[in-house]
Structure formats: structure tokens, C-alpha cells
Amino acid sequence: MPESILERVIRVIASAQHMPPEEIHPGSTFEELGIDSLDGINIVFALENEFDVNIPDEAAKSIRGVGDIVQGIDKLLAEKQGPSG
């Protein structure tokens, strides 16, 4: 099984925050994880590299937790692939 987007997001956050991935769940918020705005910017940078996408400033500012990230990455990857069918 290839790693899912959720699994990759959790891996990236865990690595950027130097925390065990087991502590990060699909519903975790940045607040719960003790991630401040500067940590958030580091995580956005790591996500851009992981998924090779550009996360716009407005989208980066609106991230509140793991759910927002997975949703946003899904959207960016879909846009990158272009219209299907």
C-alpha cells in the first residue's frame, strides 16, 4: 500500500516538530499539538517540498489543523493534475 496523503502529512508534521507521529491524528488541531504560527510556516515549507506544490499565503494562514492540510493538499494535487476525464 502506498502511503496515503494523511500519512504523509502526519510524517511531515512529526518530522518538522520533532514529535512522535503517533501523537498526531486526523482531527488534531495545531493548538492541541502546541504548534505556533512560526512552526506552522515551517510545516508549510516542508509540505511544499513533500508534495511539490506551492501553498498560497492565504491558504497557509487559514490552516488550523491536520484536517485543513489534507483537504488543501488534495485540492492542490487535483489542480496540479489538471481536469480529469
Partner 1 sequence: MSPRRVAVTGIGVFCASGKNRRRFWEALTSGRSAIGPIEGFGELRFPNGAQIRDYCPLDQFSEKEADFLDPFAQYALIAAREAVAAAGIQWTAQLRRQTGVITGSCVGGKLTEDRAFRELYEEKKTRFHPMIIPRTMANAGASAITMEFGLTGASFTISTACSSANHSLAQAFWLVRQGSLEMAIAGGSEAPFTTAHLKAWEALRVMSPDTCRPFSKDRRGMILGEGAAMLVLEPLAAAKARGATVYAELAGAGMNADAHHITQPSVEGAARAMELALADGGVPADAVGYINAHGTGTPANDPVESKAIRRLFGAHADRIAVSSTKSMHGHGLGAAGAIEAAATVSALDTGVLPPTANYTTPDPECDLDVIPNEARRAEIEYALSNSFAFGGLNAVLAFRRYNP
Name the site residues for partner 1 (rule: CB under 8 A).
17-18, 38, 41-42, 44-45, 48-49
Q: Which is nearer to partner 1, 28 or 45 (CB)?
A: 45
Of residues 17 and 63, the one with the C-beta less far from partner 1:
17
36 counts as catalytic: yes
In whole angstroms, how close is the CB of 41 to partner 1 at the nearest point?
A: 4
Count of CB atoms situated within 10 Å of the CB of 25: 15
**Where is 45: in which H helix or E strand?**
helix 37-51
Q: Catalytic residue among 36, 39, 57, 68, which?
A: 36
Dist. CA 57–CA 25, nearest whole Å: 24
All residues at 6 or more sequence positions from 52 whose CB lies less than 8 Å from its CB, including other chains = 80
Minimum gap (Å) between residue 85 Cβ and partner 1: 30
Give the chain's length.
Answer: 85
Catalytic residues, by residue number, are 36
